[in-house]
Chains A and B, each alone.
Chain A
Amino acid sequence: MNVLNEWAFVGVFFALSWALPALPIVAAVFFSPKKANAIKLQTYECGVETVGDTWVQFKVQYYLYGLVFLVFDVEMIFLFPWAMAYERLDTFQFFAGIVFIILLLDVLVYAVKKNVLEWS
């Protein structure tokens, strides 16, 4: 298979992996009863009417983790080629990579020191 074929496979796979799980849901439409009423369609909150807005401005702590993750995730992408080309690296390139990782570790230390990773 050539490269194009490989991605054709992934493309078909992508389409099918939407279709396969959707199949039982579509099937369920034909088999399942439909007896909706206002009470049944209520949001579940332990049997009590839910109050207040659900989609609120939530505590920022959750997002801080997301931000720190983003730093790591983006930086880690650079490590993939480095790891792949590992055998062909000369000493300078090798240590450049190591320094890069240590800088990444430094980010973590900084985040911890800044109490960003402290769940309050």
Chain B
Amino acid sequence: MDKPLELKTGTIADAIAALKEKYPGAVKDDSRQGYSGIVVDKSKLVEVATAIRDELGFDYLSSATGVDYFGISDHMEVVYHAYRTSGGAALVFKAQTGRENAEIPSLTPVWPGADFQEREIWDLYGIKFPGHPNLKRILMWEGFAGHPMRKDWKEAYYEEEHKPFGSRWPGGWVHRAEELNVYGHNVTYPADLDLSKLNDASEEALYSGMGLGVNVTQLDDETALKVDRLVVNLGPHHPSTHGVFRMVVTLNGETIELLEPVMGYLHRNHEKIGERNTFLHNMPFTDRLDYIASMSNNLGYALAVEQLLARGARWQPPSYRAEVIRVLMVELTRIVNHYWAIGFFLNDLGAFFTPALYAIAEREKILDFFEATAGSRMMCNYMRFGGVFKDIPERIRGVANLLNDQVRDFNTMDYLTELINDRIPRSIDELDRLLTDSEIIRSRCIGVGYLPPEMAVAYSCAGPLLRASGVPYDVRRAEPYSIYPELDFDVAVRYNGDLYDRYLLRLDEMRESVRILKQVLPRLEATKGQNVFGPAQHTPRVPVGESYGRVENPKGELGYYVVSNGIGEEASKGPQNPWRYHVRAPSFINLTALGAMCKGHKVADVVAILGSIDIVLGETDR
């Protein structure tokens, strides 16, 4: 470090200018049409990244992802989005490498939060990261042939590059899976099945890292007795891993000595499918990420694509009413999600379903409203580029679901008013009374799973996990979107960074959401009759460029990095399909800190810590 960077103002342009001055030659503007940020020479990447973190103050690495420009310029690049935890826009920087023997230095020494994301890039793109402490595949298994996100990797039964596939339309070949695989014949094992051969190489590598196979017997200093360590798998098929998440733990008695998260059991290469889809196809597909909070997922994707569309000529921004409805839906989703999170966190602590059912009962009322509006309770598929696809209905009718043999039929606004002003606050208070002062909950939660604020930022944790550690970082305030700037609410923050504070923070956030919703209601009333959706755009042609849309999802910052690009003529017309569609999944990245939080705790605590992170495997594994 010769001389520190000098900043005149805090703007991104200023930061880029300062970087270019300090590293002439190594830092260049990304001059491609529709792109922003800088391209950093990969030999200087770690140095520049350190300067970005330490001298420019971009201490929070939100997202790191790869893009393959096969056919366009035949290189691959890794895109980083760094933010300041004090708020503001992103500093986007990229490092490029050739497609053969792709290598980019690892940024884990600078941001430990890059750990899982770099592993994912290695897994899906085959870019090596020298300097990474544990560069293994993360979503696919060790020994998988190829790197599936590369453009030249074709899946089995490959048909065409882009949807809509010609073979499916018209009169495509549709058959049901059970015709090919009749029940009863679906599981047969050869008689000479050798179980010892089932363990593949990746399992062995995993276990040897956990101290199995290595001599695990150590002398316990204090008692001088021989103690064997036990290597146990918690998950994928476990009641409290919230899906098919797996933790391999090394136990000494009941104390965790090592913990290695293993994921990918629900991996379906969401992003590859997303690249085959048209832009609009991906909207219902985002529902399947965090299926507890589909409305928020929709919004994030809509924002990302709208940023691109806004560069085109025929673009109409969403109407005010559409924005109001979006915020209504998103905040209701936050409440739904936190009910769920608190309820099942208590289950993880060992409660016998009572708190969970109390919480879920209220959630159902909100889902009734979602169903009446979007037609579906969980997979809402409600938002569109430029609005929402349908206004909220006049009345909520529950034809299929009777109450005392009566069709439930409410005026929607009355229903919402009662829900927001009365039912939800009451049930939050009820949960509060039931749980907060319980002696067992306090003794199980306080001081467990401690995550210090600097670590939370370094590990790129987001959402309740970050804010419970005392970092008041909320995208709704840090980089506001929709109508949040005009709404009056506080960013909930707690300072102890343990399980108890995460639980309390979720209660706080629900109360803040109610506060927001109370301001949304009069706006909803005032904008009645406004259009919620501009001219229908079924297969919009999206101007070339990149965009990063991010929203504060209930589980943390959800980001979509979308690149619109194509080969030849496709690019000039504006592509119908995204060239790159990346999801910055909060539950995936929040897990980076799991191992550090669990060390030294008991088996029972691990389950609770995982519950307090609040993951959904649909999003983690994608």
Contacts and interface: CB of A to CB of B under 8 A. Distances in A.
B396 interface: no
B232 A37 contact: no
Contact of A59 (B195, B199, B231, B252): B252
B195 A42 contact: yes
Nearest to B234: A46
Given A46-B235, A46-B236, A48-B246, A38 B207 contact: no
Nearest to A41: B195
A48 B231 CA distance: 12
Determine the main DSSP class of B at the interface with A: loop
A38 B193 contact: yes
Given A39-B193, A52-B212, A62-B253, A46 B246 contact: yes
Nearest to B227: A59
Contacts of A45: 232-233
Nearest to B195: A38
Interface string B221-262: 001011111111111111000000010000011110000000
Contact of B227 (A39, A42, A58): A58
B195 to A, nearest CB: 6
Interface string A64-77: 00000000000000
B189 A58 contact: no
A85 interface: no
Contacts, number: 65
Contacts of A42: 195
A45 B223 CA distance: 30
A67 to B, nearest CB: 13
A50 B198 CA distance: 11
Interface residues of B, number: 30
B220 interface: yes
A57 interface: yes
Interface in B177-199: 189, 193, 195, 198-199
Contacts of A52: 207, 212, 230-231
A60 B223 contact: yes
Given A46-B236, A47-B235, 19 more contacts: A38-B193, A38-B195, A42-B195, A46-B233, A46-B234, A46-B237, A49-B203, A50-B233, A51-B199, A52-B207, A52-B230, A52-B231, A57-B217, A58-B228, A59-B227, A59-B252, A59-B254, A60-B227, A62-B253
16 contacts: A45-B233, A46-B236, A46-B237, A47-B235, A47-B237, A48-B203, A48-B237, A51-B203, A51-B212, A51-B231, A56-B228, A56-B229, A57-B226, A58-B230, A59-B254, A60-B225
Interface of A: 37-39, 42, 45-54, 56-62, 120
